[in-house]
């Protein structure tokens, strides 16, 4: 039996519910969200659903075209490369190296950047000004160029790519959080909390942070797409993943020699990078559009 409401009250949705309703009204954002969820499942389940090992070679099936071609085979859905390796299996395993690694890199950069940015944002005076100018100088260097500089010092390899891209991402999070916290400190409700006797820790966690989460979410989506491109670019330049790794950027570099003879070796990993970045950007744009009315 439903409860009887004697007093009719309007239901006021929480900010999170309003953001989701606005986000769900954007069909492109929903498409991007489902694509990101699908990529997350592939990242976890890729080794179990891939039909072949990414390094398994078949000398009888060199440069086999995709299955929709007249000379293709359903068993090798996306064809094979110049060593007879199944491209579909390599693409699935490459999700972990390109998309999965970008998630781990951004998570670590977010953790480090949040701590440093929060502390610096709560500072005032000369310390805050010096740190702000230092971050502006670091952000003037493109993240890919900074990653290349770090890899040039540490050497090529997936482990060094993790550190290189992570180091390049940290200043972005520090600057974003520093600026967001510094702006919130100027608001009147922060002054009211101080007059109520709240200390700096209480002001930061209970007053400032609820208004900074939105900025962080948007920055995370932008950072993930940038990390994907940086990891793939380093692999393409032979500074990141090395052959025979199935990382998507490295796969493009390995297939350049046969571009005219077998273009699918290059185009399929390229399309995978394009679709992944597009999905993340669609989610980021949808969140930005949904959060803007709430913040205003």
At 185, the pLDDT band (50, 70, 90 cuts) reads confident
Average pLDDT over residues 273-281: 94
pTM summary value:
0.87
pLDDT of residue 268: 92
Cβ atoms of 11 and 21 within 8 Å: the answer is no
Of 129 and 190, more confident = 190
Q: How far apart are the first and last CA of the chain?
A: 41
Cα separation, 142 vs 296, in Å, equals 31
For the chain, the domains span 90-294
**Residues 84-107: pLDDT tens digits?**
899 999 999 999 999 999 999 999
To 10 degrees, the CA torsion angle through 94, 97, 103, 104? 160
What value does the mean pLDDT take over residues 112-126? Answer: 80
Digit-coded pLDDT (tens) for 6-62: 555 566 667 777 888 888 888 999 999 999 999 999 999 988 898 888 888 888 888
Where residue 214 falls among pLDDT bands split at 50, 70, 90? confident
- Mean pLDDT, to the nearest integer, of 58-70? 85
Distance of CA 115 to the CA centre of its chain: 19
- pLDDT per residue as tens digits for the range 128-173: 677 767 777 777 777 788 888 888 888 888 888 888 888 888 888 8
pLDDT value of position 103? 93
Provide the pLDDT for residue 126.
Answer: 66
Which three-class secondary structure state does DSSP give residue 76? strand
The arithmetic mean of pLDDT across residues 113-125, rounded, is: 81
**What CATH architecture applies to the domain 90-294?**
Orthogonal Bundle (1.10)
Rounded distance between C-alpha atoms, residue 269 and residue 98, angstroms: 11
Q: By the 8 A CB rule, do 221 and 283 touch? A: yes
The pLDDT value recorded for residue 260 is: 85
Q: If phi over 0 gives left and psi between -120 and 50 gives alpha, with beta otherwise, what is residue 7?
A: beta
Q: What is the rounded CA–CA span in Å between residue 240 and residue 193?
A: 49
The SS3 assignment for 138 reads helix
Nearest by Cα to 230 from 40, 135, 102: 102
Q: Inform me whether the pLDDT recorded for 1 exceeds 70.
A: no
């Amino acid at each position: 039996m439903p409860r009887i409401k004697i007093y009719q009250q309007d239901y006021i949705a929480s900010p999170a519910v309003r953001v989701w309703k606005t986000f769900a009204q954007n069909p492109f954002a929903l498409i991007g969200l489902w694509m990101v969820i699908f990529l997350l499942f592939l990242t976890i389940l890729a080794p179990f659903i891939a039909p072949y090992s990414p390094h398994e070679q078949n000398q009888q099936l060199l440069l086999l075209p995709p299955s929709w071609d007249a000379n293709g085979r359903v068993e090798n859905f996306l064809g094979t490369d110049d060593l007879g390796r199944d491209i579909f299996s390599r693409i699935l395993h490459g999700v972990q190296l390109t998309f999965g690694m970008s998630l781990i890199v951004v998570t670590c950069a977010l953790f480090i950047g949040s701590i440093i940015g929060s502390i610096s944002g709560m500072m005032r005076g000369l310390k805050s000004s010096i740190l702000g100018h230092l971050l502006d100088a670091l952000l003037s260097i493109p993240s890919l160029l900074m990653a290349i500089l770090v890899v040039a010092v540490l050497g090529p390899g997936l482990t060094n790519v993790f550190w290189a891209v992570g180091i390049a991402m940290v200043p972005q999070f520090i600057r974003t959080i520093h600026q967001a916290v510094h702006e919130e400190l100027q608001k009147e409700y922060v002054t009211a909390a101080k007059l109520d006797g709240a200390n700096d820790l209480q002001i930061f966690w209970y007053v400032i942070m609820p208004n900074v989460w939105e900025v962080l979410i948007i920055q995370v989506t932008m950072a993930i797409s940038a990390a994907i491109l940086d990891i793939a670019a380093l692999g393409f330049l032979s500074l990141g993943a090395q052959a025979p790794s199935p990382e998507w950027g490295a796969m493009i570099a390995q297939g350049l020699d046969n571009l005219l003879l077998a273009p699918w070796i290059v185009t399929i990993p390229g399309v995978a990078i394009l679709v992944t970045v597009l999905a993340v950007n669609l989610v980021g744009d949808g969140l930005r559009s949904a959060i803007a009315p709430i913040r205003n």
